[in-house]
Amino acid sequence: MSNHIQTTHISNKGEHTMTKPHHYSRRRTIGAFIAVGAALTTSGVVSSVASASGVDEFTVAVVMPSAANDLAFSQSMIDSLDRLKEDGSIDDFVYSENMFVVEDAATAIRSYAEEGYDLVVAHGSQYGGSLQEIAPDFPGTAFAWGTASDTFGLDNVSGYTAASDQGGYVMGAMAALMAEDGSIGIIGPIEVGDAKLYVDGFAAGAVSASPDIEVGINYTESFSDTALAAEAATSFVDGGATVLSGTAQMVVGAVGVAQERGVLWFGTQSNQTELAPDVVVASQVYHWEVVLSELIAGVKAGALGGSSYDINLGNGGLVIENNPDYEIPEDVQAAADDLIAQLSSGDLVTGVAQGGEAEDSTAASEPEGTESEGTESEGTESDETEPTGTEAAETTAAADTTEA
């Protein structure tokens, strides 16, 4: 089994001296407390790569909504950039974490562009509106935005998405086969983006493996409410669930419940084995480097953007990583391997569509390609509850048209 547990913690006291968080002031100062608080928040963690404008080096800057080590969405990008740095595709990268306030993220994106980074990654679909404004001001800088497949028609913006329904489908099937007589509970943040894809994929996979299994879905309506995620998990277990899964950074609370109550857990985005080594069966891990290396090769060749990319099981951007200490029954592993092969080759599709209901896999919709060219935004991936600027604009425009 692939055992690719990433435990790289890039913190201010970490081993990666060049790669440090790069914080911008996140709150306005209201009185002495806040000044002190802000000073504390930024002290010791501000650093920048001196050679950002170096002629020969390829440097990347990334802005992300949650902590760089959240064992979820943000960490998946940091781990991927680490791997790119290891294989020499990039020389270095810097990041700004916890940018849940979009205006602050916009400031960071603009600053990075001004500082001359070769690629500026806006890792959060809520940053789309900002990027649309900033990117035209820096025609010589390459920008990437995800999870989203919209490039705003700008030739220096790339989009990237994750077909998280595929790994969800595989693990949902595994869950159903391992649930014994119990039911399955899935905890999501907000019903959008790759969170929705994952949840729907998981449910579809479970039903495909065991048509009569009960699958419950609870969206907490928050990317950050750890207590509510734990409560959702508790109510599932009280109701007879023996397998749980969930997506986004607030599931840490739910994993704790799984560990305490002894029910199985399937993770996504990053490898979550270390959160609960006894009950985590497997995690779907995002390997953004698969598409980023392609994207970066394009930038190096002079193509600053215009395309959108998709990680999936087929191109190796999505990898199901098993917990090495959890013994998965052979028949379950065989079924999972079979599904991975079928989904990779395109012989099987999850039947899950963005914005649609989970369908049975036999009611196939369009197959998933490795490169998507859609213009629809992928939804949000952070504490933001509002749709992205472009989504909102599109929705409004559509509504206006209808009314007119």
Partner 1 sequence: MSEFFTISVIVATVAAGVRLATPYLFAALGETLGQRSGVLNLGVDGVMLLGAFFAYWVALEHRNLWFAFLAGAAVGLVMGAVYAVVTLVFKAEQGISGIGVYLFGLGFSELLYRQQVGTPRPARSLPDVRIPLLGRIPKVGDMFFNHSLVVYVAIALVPIAALVINHTRFGLNVRAVGETPEAADSMGVSVNGTRTATILLANMLAGVGGAALALELGTFQQNLTNGIGFIAVALVYFGSWRPAGVLAGSLLYGLLTATVNQFKTLGIVTGGTASLATAAPALLTIVALVVIARRRAEQPAALTLPFVRGG
Q: Give the residues lining the site for partner 1 (CB under 8 A).
A: 7, 9, 11-13, 26-27, 30-34, 36-38, 40-41, 44-45, 66-67, 69-71, 75, 98, 183, 185, 191, 214, 216-222, 224-228, 230-232, 234-236, 238-239, 249-250, 252-253, 255-256, 259-260, 274-276
For 223, the token pair is: 């990317």
Give the distance from CA 115 to its chain's centroid: 26
CA distance 2 to 323: 9
| DSSP-assigned beta bridge partners for residue 266 | 245, 282
Q: Which residues pair with 318 in a beta bridge?
A: 286
| Cβ at position 377, least distance to partner 1 in Å | 19
Q: How many CA atoms lie within 13 A of 133 on its CB side?
A: 12
Give the contacts of 291 (CB within 8 A, at least 6 positions apart).
160, 309, 310, 311, 315, 317
Of the pair 3, 12, the CB lying nearest partner 1 is at 12
Q: What angle do CA 179, 184, 187 make, to 5 degrees?
A: 140
**Shortest distance, position 4 Cβ to partner 1, whole Å:** 17
How far apart are CB 96 and partner 1 at their closest, in Å? 13
Side-chain-side CA neighbours of 266 within 13 Å: the count stands at: 31
CB of 69 to partner 1, least distance (A): 4
Q: How far is the CB of 355 from partner 1 (least distance, A)?
A: 12
Least distance to partner 1, CB of residue 36, Å: 6
Q: Any alpha helices (H) in 153-288, and if so which ranges?
A: 164-178, 193-209, 226-238, 252-261
Q: Considering the complex, state which of residue 45 and residue 335 has its C-beta at the smaller distance from partner 1.
A: 45
Nearer to partner 1, 256 or 306 (CB): 256
Spatial distance between the Cα atoms of 46 and 62, rounded to a whole number of angstroms: 15
- Between residues 34 and 398, which has the closer beta carbon with respect to partner 1? 34
- Of 154 and 203, nearer to partner 1 (C-beta) is 203
- In angstroms, give the least distance from the CB of 31 to partner 1: 4
Distance CA 151, CA 308 (A): 7
Rounded to a whole number of angstroms, the minimum distance from the CB of residue 225 to partner 1 is 5
Query: Closer to partner 1 at the Cβ: 1 or 227?
Result: 227
Could you give the angle at which helices 164-178 and 330-345 cross, rounded to 10 degrees?
A: 160
Q: Specify the residue, 156 or 234, whose C-beta has the smaller distance to partner 1.
A: 234
Q: Which amino acid is at 311?
A: I
Rg of the chain over Cα atoms, rounded to whole angstroms, equals 21
> By three-state DSSP, how is residue 320 classified?
strand
Q: Which is nearer to partner 1, 226 or 333 (CB)?
A: 226
